[in-house]
Every structure is written in C-alpha cells, then in structure tokens.
Amino acid sequence: MNAVAALAPSMRLGRKTPAQGDGMTAPQQLSDIDQAALSWFVANRGDDADAPGFARWQAADPRHGDAYARIENLWGSASFAGAAKRARPRHRGVAAATTLGLALCLTLGMGAGLRLTGTTLAWPADHATWVGQIAATTLADGSTVTLDSGSAIDVVMTDKGREIRVLRGRVFVAVAPDDRPLRVLSGDAEIRDIGTSFSVMRDDAGEHVAVADGVVDIGTPAAGARIVRAGQAGALVAGQLTPVRAINTLESFAWTQQRHYFSNQPVAAVADELRRYHRGWIVIANDRAAGVRISGGLNLSDPVAAMEELARLSGTRLTRVSDRVLILR
C-alpha cells in the first residue's frame, strides 16, 4: 500500500461549478503582500509596533510600500469611517488596534481593490471546491482526484489519452491503471504519470509537484523534463525547473485528510496555510508573533479553532473579533 492509500475524504465532489450558476461564488484571497501590509498597519498603530521590522519589510520589495500606501489611503476615507463605527467592540477591554484591524477589513471588503473570499471564478470548470472545502471524486477511468480548498480542474478523456488541467489550487491524483497515458497540465508545466499517486499545486510562484507513490516527470518544452520519485518534490518556477528535494510525505499529503502538520515552522508560515481555508482575514499584528517557531498539527476543517490552537502552541494571543476576522498578537 502506498503512503497515502487511505487518504480519501468522505465528502464527495459533484460536477456543479461556479460557472453553472448555482448561486454560490468561488473564493479569492487577499494576496500575501496585502495581508502583510494590513498586519503592519494594525501593528504600527497598536502597542506592538516594531519599527525596525517594519523598515526591513518595506525595504525587501517595492510592492510592499505600494500595498501599505493603499491601506493608508483608506485611513481617512468615508468607507473606513463607516466601518470603524460598525467595528466598535461590544465588550470593554478589546484593544484599539483590534477595532482598527476589523474596520480596515470591513473597508477592504467594500471595494478598495483587495478582495475577500467570495468572487466568481472567471472560467468554467469540470470540478471545483470552495474555500474550506476538500473533496474527492472518481473520474471515468477509475482514477481518484482530491481537490484542496479553492481549487478547480478540467478533465478530458479520449481514446488516446487522459488529461487533467489544473486551473487553480491543488489536486491529489491517484491514477488508475490504463493503457492510455495520463498527463496533468498546470500553467506551463506538464506532469506525466508513470504509474503513481501525486499532488500538483498551482500558485503565484509556479507549479509544484509532490509524489506519494511511483514516479512522474515534470517539465516544459523550453526547460526540459525532470524525474520526481516517491518521497520527492519538484517545481517549475519562473520557467525554470528547481532541484528535486526530499519531502516528509505525512506533512505533504496530510491536507487530503483535512490536517496540517508542521515541524519547527514560524507562526507566519502556518498562518499562511490556514488562510487558504479561512473565509475571511487572518492578521498577524507584530513581527515577534510571526517569527515564533512551533511544531504540531491542526485541523483544517475548522480554521477558527485551528488559529486558537496555533495561539496556544506559540504562546501568542488571538483576538476573535468575529468568525471572519482573526488577529494574532
């Protein structure tokens, strides 16, 4: 039995997609840079300001300053004033910075160019999941695909071959034996199956493949191809193949069982993963909290409870303004 033979969520994935007009909308997340800018803006106006850390963040990338400036421009806007009024805490003792964070989140959700989860996918898809949903389905050839939160794929089966195109997010494929070759297309990358189970993830950085069992090759006509074996991962970033590396298969494929395991990871990295499953905002209000290193496991089916556990593990404080807005400090 391969390393993830038992990884099959009970939730089944239907074929209805956002493009079919079911009244639901697929999720979009704030970008990592906008999330960080929001976190710094809250921190700079609270008791946890970290001027050296903020200066380092601004200097690291010119886009950081642009994102921060967009949030600063909201500060005096009518939208922010209305949101701040709605965000006044019901209970005494809630920090002013927390109220500020919620007000900014509400303002951003009103059309400031930073979108909360809930806008429609711009393409039709054969199979798709919403934020927080992990679901599996069996394809016509008997292969099983498990879609991660906020993912979408197209599937084409012909007499000559089998093709899965990753439109968004991450998919785990357990390939059924068949004389027809199977390939997965993700951005510019093509992943060819050589009898295996593996995951493919498409994000802003590029295309990433991790192999649970068997062998695949990943490549492009321009970059060539590279073999990736069980217990290894490879990627295509900026048109270039990265070196193949060893992975912890338990950690790499735990998401298929709605778990996230991590070892000696900074809080910021763990929170980034939880953002993919949370229908709202997760704000880290200071650099100290972001840098605490922790090990453990979290339940992805309940991101709010997972953030509470993250705060406990890291010795930080979580302010739960609502189920949508979580501020770690």
Which pLDDT belongs to residue 85? 46
Closest CA to 234 of 198, 187, 195: 198
Nearest to 169 by CA among 126, 207, 210: 207
Provide the 10 A C-beta neighbour count for residue 63. 12
**Is the distance from CB of 106 to CB of 83 less than 8 angstroms?**
yes
**Token pair in block for residue 116:** 């909360």
DSSP assignment of 171-222 equals: EEEEPPP-SS-EEEEETTEEEEESS-EEEEEE-SSEEEEEEEESEEEEEETT
Cα angle: 177, vertex 166, 124; to 5 degrees: 115
Q: Which CATH number fits domain 122-247: 3.20.19.10, 3.30.499.10, 2.60.120.1440, 3.30.56.10?
A: 2.60.120.1440
Per the CB < 8 A criterion, the answer to whether 234 and 248 are in contact is no
Which residues are 219's β-sheet partners? Answer: 190, 225
C-alpha radius of gyration, the chain, whole number: 21
Quote the pLDDT of residue 14. 40
Contact 191, 211 (CB under 8 A): no
pLDDT along the chain (329 residues), means of 10: 37 39 39 75 70 88 85 57 45 45 48 35 75 94 96 95 96 95 94 90 93 94 92 94 96 97 95 91 83 96 96 92 79
The confidence score (pLDDT) of residue 283 equals 82
SS3 percent helix, strand, coil of the chain, rounded to 5, is 30, 30, 40
pLDDT (0 to 100) of residue 223: 87
Task: Specify the amino acid at residue 284.
Answer: I
Torsion of CA 42, 44, 50, 53, to 10 degrees: 80
Q: Which residues are CB-neighbours of 136 under 8 A, at least 6 positions away?
A: 8, 9, 11, 12, 13, 144, 145, 146, 147, 256
pLDDT the model gives residue 114: 32
User: Where are the domains positioned within the chain?
Assistant: 32-116+258-328, 122-247
Nearest CA to 87 out of 59, 106, 71, 68 is that of 106
Q: Which residue, among 239, 264, 234, 236, has the nearest Cα to 251 in the 3D structure?
A: 264
Q: Which two tokens stand for residue 39?
A: 């976190």
DSSP sequence for 100-156: HHHHHHHHHTTTSS-PPS-PPPSS--SEE--TT--EEEE-TTS-EEEE-TT-EEEEE
* pLDDT at site 309: 97
pTM for the whole structure: 0.70
* Beta strands 325-328 and 318-320, pairing class: antiparallel
